[in-house]
Amino acid sequence: MDLDIHKQFRVDIKEHIVRYIFFSFAFLSVITTVGIVIVLLTDSVIFFSEVSIVEFFTSTRWSPTIKPVEFGVLPLISGTLTFTLVTSLIAIPAGLLAAIYLSEYADERVRSVLKPTLEVLAGIPTVVYGYFALVYITPMLKSFIPQMSTFNVLSASIVVGIMIIPTIASISEDAMRAVPNTLRHAAFGLGVTKFQVTTTVVVPAALSGIVSSFILGMSRAIGETMAVTIAGGNLSRMVNWLKPGDTLFEPVQTMTAAMVEIGISDVTGDSVAYRSLFAVGLTLFLMTMVLNMVSQYIKRKYREKY
């Protein structure tokens, strides 16, 4: 009997230990988030004691290593927004229409092949997309647009647009498939065509999911690094959006590309340039986090319940 109690005790202890081990694993994700924030903040705080926060957010010149050094993040934000905007103009219509096709038109057999094939687009490494943009797409575009620069926004945006299509398509498609068939049948009963049912009933009913997929796609483009580093050039400048040629065909430098440029240089751990990495990283982190939260909020808040 005594032995049994001991055994029971050992089993109980083991149960508790196992539980706490798994809890600590799950809690690691919280620690990761806290770690990201602390790491970004620590070096950013030191950075902002060396470079004024006013200069960082108002100066229009980014030159972390070449003298005279200046740390204005605006040109990088300008580059990132330009790249994100052009990428969205490609990925959003393609992703939405692909989602409509998958949800409303494709039969089950086509869908079961098309959907996983689309997912492959998101599985190709961005460094490979960058090579495609620089070595294949740009020369091809140049034969139509001779004034195009070797490094430009358009090529990088085309490949990243292709990469983001599955993100937008799969979330939008989920939202459209969640629209109950009764709504479609009611509309068909009024004698309208499939096109009208899709555009006036299904898409509006699924709008919250669709918009949230757009925002998530844009957030992906903002954080995208290698394709825009390889094919977008590394020229930090303020982009003039009123001139399409300046926006599309000229090089830019995004926040991410600027970080890679410092990352591969010989900048040492104890310098302003090194710490500027974390200030730019913090800006990038906040921008993507806000967009991700807005995307989740829209999805939750405006979801139609059927």
Partner 1 sequence: MSEMQLTMNESKGTVLSSSEAKDNIKKEKVKGIIFQIMCVIAALFGIVSLGALLMYVIYEAAGWLDWQFISSSPSRFAEKAGVLPPLVGSSFVIALVALFSLPLGVGSAIYLEEYSKQSYLRRFIEINIANLAGVPSIVYGLLGLGLFVSTFNLPHGIVLVGAFTLTLRVLPIVIVSSQEAIKAVPDLQRHASLGLGATRWQMIRTVVLPEAMPGVLTGTIIALANAMGETAPLIMIGAATTMFTPPHGIMSSFSALPLQIYAWSDFPQSEFQHGVTPAAIVVLLVIILSLNGIAIYARNKFYQRNRQK
Report the site for partner 1 in 208-237 (rule: CB under 8 A).
216, 219, 222-226, 229-230
Pairing mode, if any, of strands 62-63 and 70-71? antiparallel
In the region spanning residues 123 to 152, those forming contacts with partner 1, defined by CB under 8 A, are: 123-128, 130-132, 134-136
d(CA 56, CA 54): 5
Asked whether position 288 contacts partner 1 by CB under 8 A, the answer is yes
> In whole angstroms, how close is the CB of 228 to partner 1 at the nearest point?
11
**Contact with partner 1 (CB under 8 A): which of 105, 241, 297, 302?**
105
Identify which of residues 15 and 50 has a Cβ nearer to partner 1 in the complex: 15
> CB under 8 A: which stretch of 71-79, 141-149, 181-189, 277-285 binds partner 1?
277-285
> Does residue 59 interact with partner 1 by CB under 8 A?
no
E-only strand ranges, 20-151: 62-63, 70-71
Residue among 237, 228, 174 nearest 206 (CA):
174
Q: Which stretch binds partner 1 (CB under 8 A): 45-53, 114-122, 141-149, 235-243?
A: 114-122
Window contacting partner 1 (CB under 8 A); options: 35-43, 57-65, 204-212, 236-244: 35-43
DSSP 232-275: S-S------TT-HHHHHSS----HHHHHHHHHHS---SSSHHHH
Taking the alpha carbons at both ends of the chain, their separation in whole angstroms is 59
Scan residues 7-26 and list those touching partner 1 (CB under 8 A): 11, 14-15, 18-19, 21-23, 25-26
How far are the Cα atoms of 3, 42, 177, 198, 226 from residue 170, in angstroms, in the given order?
A: 58, 38, 10, 17, 24
Rounded to whole angstroms, the Cα distance separating 153 from 221 reads 12
- Interactions with partner 1, residue window 61-80 (CB under 8 A): none
